[in-house]
Amino acid sequence: MPLAHREIDAALAAGRRPIVVGGTGLYLRAALAELSLVKAPAESEDSELWSPETRHRSLIFGLDMDRAQLYERIDARVEAIVAAGAAEEARRADALGPGRTARKALGFDELLAGDVETMKKRSRNYARRQLTWMRKIPNLHRIDRSGLSDRQVAAEIVAELRGA
The per-residue pLDDT for 53 is 87
The per-residue pLDDT for 40 is 60
Residue ranges of the chain with per-residue pLDDT less than 70: 36-45, 47-48, 164
Express each pLDDT in 68-84 by its tens digit.
999 999 999 999 999 99
How far, rounded to the nearest angstrom, does the alpha carbon of residue 60 sit from its chain's CA centroid?
Answer: 13
The per-residue pLDDT for 41 is 55
Question: Quick one: which of 54, 59, 62, 63 has its CA closest to 19?
Answer: 59
The CATH code belonging to domain 62-164 is: 1.10.287.890
Domain ranges (residues) in the chain? 1-58, 62-164
C-alpha–C-alpha distance, residues 38 and 140, integer Å: 26
Global pTM reads 0.78
C-alpha–C-alpha distance, residues 37 and 118, integer Å: 30
